[in-house]
Structure 1
Amino acid sequence: MRLLVTGASGFLGGHLCEALSGKHEIVAMVRKGSDTSLLTPLGVELRCCDLADPSSLIGVARNVDAVVHLAAYYTFTGDEESYRRINVEGTRALLASMINSGVARIVYCSSTEALGPTGAEPANEDRTPAPVYAYGRSKVQGEELVREHASRGIDHTIIRPSGIYGPRNFEDISYWFISAFGGSVMGRFVVGDGRRLLQFVHVDDVVQGFRLALENPRSIGRTYHISDSRAYTYDEIYAMLAAIFGRRPPRLHVPVPVAKALVAPVEGLNRLMGKDSFMFRSSTMETFREDRNYSIERASMELGYSPRWSLPEGLEATVRWYRENGYL
């Protein structure tokens, strides 16, 4: 199969292209100036386009059999208009290009942030979305667009990964979480009661989810959570990281209002300096009150999805990679 992969030079895109290039012919959509050093050895075709420029997408889907749409604006800090313009209108332009080129299959990368906080029980794909970030809201709109185009002849599958971690990840909450724990006071205490739930997924398992969706016709018209087999409490995750970094697990629990007051000066200074840190924002402290717990039962039953990485093993391997490559 000849596949157009958008966001191919990104963290997930690079891993996916590596995994699929042996079996499929990859056409990699990248922005001008992107680092394509990992893609070039794979022998993929490069097409320079930008979701922020709909005119650049007019012919991007020509001569392919299917599209894997990973590209997105993703910072958790951007303005609502940028998310709408890139993640929503960019997806609309991509779908138009598919129709014009006669391409009838898309696997769309959404996010569990489209759901928002879940409560303590694992949330399935039928739960009504209630995103709290602009990024999640843009993903809900993207999902709606993809589903609407089913009536125009485009078969879709929607994949919602949870927080992705793994080697070569430098721009995601998991890296911020790990680096903050390893290199700052954040590893000395837990915000909140430590009992809220968080669910990550190793990039290899996300690649598995996309591969299974592409290869199984049963996935058409379906939405799937792709994640670890279970969620962990913050206390459990901090204990894992403490063992990896050779520390004692933090015992101090700081109430969320106190944590917000503590990070406020740092947040203000960062703004004055034109910097931003997800881990040092008042709004981030609120997430320590929330559960993010997702059911993968549908993907397991319908696609045969089975996570290969447990979180303790995956974190240890990821931290080792960061250390060996000078990122910690």
Structure 2
Amino acid sequence: MTVLVTGATGFVGSHVLEALAQRPDVKVIAACRDRHRLIPGFQGEVRVGDLRDADYRARVLDDVDIVCHAAAWTSLWGHAQESRTLYLEPTLGLLDAAVARGIQRLVNVSTTSAAAPERSHDANSRGIPRRFWPHLGNVIAIEDRMRELAGGTTMVNLRLGIFAGQRYALSVLPILIPRLKTHLVPYVAGGRTSLPIVDGRDVGEAFALAATAPGLSGYEAFNIVGPEVPRTREVIELLHDEFGYPKPHFSVPFALAYPFSWLMEKLDLFVPWEPLVTRSIVHLLEEVNVSNVEASKRLGYRPRVSWREAVRAQVREMAAREIRPMRMARPIA
């Protein structure tokens, strides 16, 4: 079995490479733009190129059985055109190419917040686009296209929780943590909603299982989170108790958090820094009520890394790696 991993140098892709490397019956091919950023020790084949290039999208699928599509340009607010050009269009092109080439299965990255808060408990539910977050709309458009194309190529959509852990990527934690230092960030709804953190190692294992598990067909979707799901308040208390970050001094309901975030976004036009908070961040704090029940039953997914371990590892890496706070959109290249 030959598995291609796109976005192999990113948070998701690098962990998928590690997980698949543990399976002796799998040949792993890494697809990326810069081979020098691959995890140390990777010995497999590397196919260098850019998924925006239609010719590369066709070539990269040569002699491939299964695709783990982990390439994703990300933005937590605005950047509608960039999200379309750098993420939506290349991914739709890859889906079409995979079907045309007869790829057996394609596994995709999505988010547990795609249908939040109304229907997120069901990973098969259709996503709910939000006008305030163009990138989420593109994530949902990709899910919908997977449904349309599913058939000869099995389409597996993994709605992942909040990323955490080593080699961390753009997500809630690297945006939230520096802002806690301002003492201006409130709890939303008292911090009572769940924060479905998932460590990169568990993400990698979930992808490896979704790529190799028998009995999948058509369009399949699974929520993927850690072994236990904390409340937002619990996560912030850990950051306070173990790393000294300030806790919020007040709380606001979601009904106020959204208009306040809208105001912060509008003020961005007049200030040199990014908004304190955006509506997309508030949306990610909405209750999702997700679990691993279906992934456990159908894929054999058993997450091993606690949210506490994942957060600790990420905060330590942030202290060593970040000179300035992470921006709310990936660099454009």
2:161 alignment counterpart: 162
**1:112-131 equivalent positions in 2, closer than 5 A:** 112-118=112-118, 123-131=121-129
1:175 alignment counterpart: 174
- Taking a change above 3 Å as real, the CA distance of residues 158 and 191 of structure 1, as seen in their structure-2 partners, is closer
1:319 lines up with 2:315 in the alignment: yes
1:195 lines up with 2:192 in the alignment: yes
- Taking a change above 3 Å as real, the CA distance of residues 322 and 272 of structure 1, as seen in their structure-2 partners, is closer
Deviation of the 1:253 alpha carbon:
2.4
1:228 alignment counterpart: 226
- Taking a change above 3 Å as real, the CA distance of residues 262 and 52 of structure 1, as seen in their structure-2 partners, is closer
Q: Deviations over 1:83-107 (max 9, x none)?
A: 3444333223213333454422211
1:19 alignment counterpart: 19
Counterpart code for 1:30:
C
Higher RCO (C-alpha 8 Å, min separation 6): 2
Looking at structure 2, the residues matched to 289 and 276 of structure 1 have their Cα atoms a distance apart, in angstroms, of: 19
- Count of matched residue positions in the alignment of Structure 1 and Structure 2: 318
Match of 1:240 among 238, 253, 261: 238
Q: Which runs of 5+ in 1 are unaligned?
A: none
8 Å Cα contact 2:226/2:307 also seen in 1: yes
Match of 1:292 among 288, 294, 306: 288
**1:1-328 equivalent positions in 2, closer than 5 A:** 1-23=1-23, 24-31=26-33, 34=34, 36-39=36-39, 41-118=41-118, 123-132=121-130, 133-151=133-151, 153-181=152-180, 183-185=181-183, 189-221=186-218, 222-246=220-244, 249-254=247-252, 257=256, 264=263, 268=267, 272-273=271-272, 276=274, 280-284=276-280, 286-287=282-283, 290-325=286-321
Q: Deviations over 1:97-118 (max 9, x none)?
A: 3345442221122222322324
8 Å Cα contact 1:114/1:140 also seen in 2: yes
Q: Which runs of 5+ in 2 are unaligned?
A: 325-333
- Taking a change above 3 Å as real, the CA distance of residues 276 and 50 of structure 1, as seen in their structure-2 partners, is farther
- Taking a change above 3 Å as real, the CA distance of residues 26 and 180 of structure 1, as seen in their structure-2 partners, is farther
Looking at structure 2, the residues matched to 137 and 4 of structure 1 have their Cα atoms a distance apart, in angstroms, of: 26
- Taking a change above 3 Å as real, the CA distance of residues 171 and 267 of structure 1, as seen in their structure-2 partners, is farther
8 Å Cα contact 1:267/1:282 also seen in 2: no
- Taking a change above 3 Å as real, the CA distance of residues 15 and 288 of structure 1, as seen in their structure-2 partners, is closer
8 Å Cα contact 2:17/2:204 also seen in 1: no
Deviation of the 1:8 alpha carbon:
0.9
Counterpart code for 1:241:
L
TM-score under structure 2 length normalisation: 0.81
Looking at structure 1, the residues matched to 172 and 245 of structure 2 have their Cα atoms a distance apart, in angstroms, of: 22
Question: Matched residues, percent identical?
Answer: 27
Looking at structure 2, the residues matched to 307 and 250 of structure 1 have their Cα atoms a distance apart, in angstroms, of: 30
8 Å Cα contact 2:70/2:108 also seen in 1: yes
CA-atom RMSD in angstroms:
3.1
Counterpart code for 1:198:
L
Deviation of the 1:41 alpha carbon:
3.1
TM-score under structure 1 length normalisation: 0.82
8 Å Cα contact 1:124/1:296 also seen in 2: no
Indicate the SS of the match to 2:150.
helix
- Taking a change above 3 Å as real, the CA distance of residues 259 and 149 of structure 1, as seen in their structure-2 partners, is closer
- Taking a change above 3 Å as real, the CA distance of residues 46 and 194 of structure 1, as seen in their structure-2 partners, is same
8 Å Cα contact 2:268/2:274 also seen in 1: no
Counterpart code for 2:241:
A
Looking at structure 1, the residues matched to 287 and 103 of structure 2 have their Cα atoms a distance apart, in angstroms, of: 39
- Taking a change above 3 Å as real, the CA distance of residues 114 and 175 of structure 1, as seen in their structure-2 partners, is same
- Taking a change above 3 Å as real, the CA distance of residues 300 and 22 of structure 1, as seen in their structure-2 partners, is closer
